[in-house]
A = this chain, B = another copy of it.
Amino acid sequence: MTTNKSIEVVFSPALIQFHDVKNKIVVVIDILRATSSICVAFQTGVKKILPVATPEECKIYKEFDFVIAAERNAMKVENFDLGNSPFEFENPLLAGKSIAFTTTNGTKAIKLAKENGAAKIVIASFLNIDFLCNWLLNQNESVVLLCSGWKDKFNIEDSLFAGAVVLQLEKHFIVDCDSAIAAKSLYSQHETNLEEIIRQSSHAKRFKLLHLQTDDVSFCLQKNTTPLLPILEDEYLVRM
């Protein structure tokens, strides 16, 4: 192996402080559902997305002609245009629009990556996994896969996705990180039936309790339906 690029996995935003992300590419992962929905939004033709910390802050952007989207505890926040289901972001009326977006976990992870000095911040999901991996192969920087988790706890679905990326890239990167080894092992074991283990996860159970569209889970496990890469430019996510 002639590379000197490394790939690491961070299982929770609360652990990012123990990894050095400076001058690296941080890949933000929130499979259920923020980063999946962001990929869908750009596929629909959304112009830009502003990740914001709170619903209160998000609401302000309504005045400036943004579509406002907010989710807390897996539910759409009342009086917002959109929640966090990927199906909502397929609406063709969103083409050309700007969206202000806040979610329980995903938008927080994006902000944290920025504060910790990442060189580039990109958005990943199963929906754009191959596009992401090809792009990462052609960059010069090391890679940190940041799982958004659930309220700073480890979660299954983000970790599985991180494992899928490690599996695709390991021949071209230095893998010297226990989380990356564990994530790859987890994904390898469940690759042929991701939905089964994800349905055991706390997040899927949460969806069920809330009588949310459980179709969201199947939707977010599709591969390569949105061949594009959202990247943070200044404050905005845009399609690269």
A residues whose Cβ falls under 8 Å from a Cβ of B: 11-12, 14-15, 17-19, 150-156, 159, 176-179, 181-182, 185-186, 188-190, 197, 200-203, 205
Contacts and interface: CB of A to CB of B under 8 A. Distances in A.
Contact of A179 (B154, B178, B188): B154
A18 B11 contact: no
A178 B152 contact: no
For this chain, the copies found in one complex come to 2
Contacts of A153: 15, 18-19, 178-179
A176 B154 contact: no
Contact of A182 (B150, B159, B188): B159
A41 to B, nearest CB: 26
Task: Give 7 nearest A-B pairs by CB, closest first.
Answer: A156-B178, A154-B179, A18-B152, A155-B178, A189-B189, A18-B153, A178-B202
Given A178-B202, A181-B200, A197-B181, A152 B15 contact: yes
A11 B186 contact: no
Contact of A178 (B15, B18, B154): B154
- The binding surface of chain A is classed by DSSP as helix
A4 B201 CA distance: 19
B185 A197 contact: yes
11 contacts: A11-B11, A11-B154, A12-B15, A14-B17, A18-B152, A156-B181, A181-B197, A181-B201, A185-B186, A185-B189, A185-B197
B177 A202 contact: yes
Contacts of A202: 176-178
Given A15-B15, A159-B178, A178-B202, 19 more contacts: A11-B154, A14-B15, A14-B18, A15-B153, A19-B153, A154-B178, A155-B178, A156-B182, A176-B202, A177-B202, A178-B203, A181-B197, A182-B182, A182-B186, A185-B189, A185-B190, A186-B186, A188-B189, A189-B189
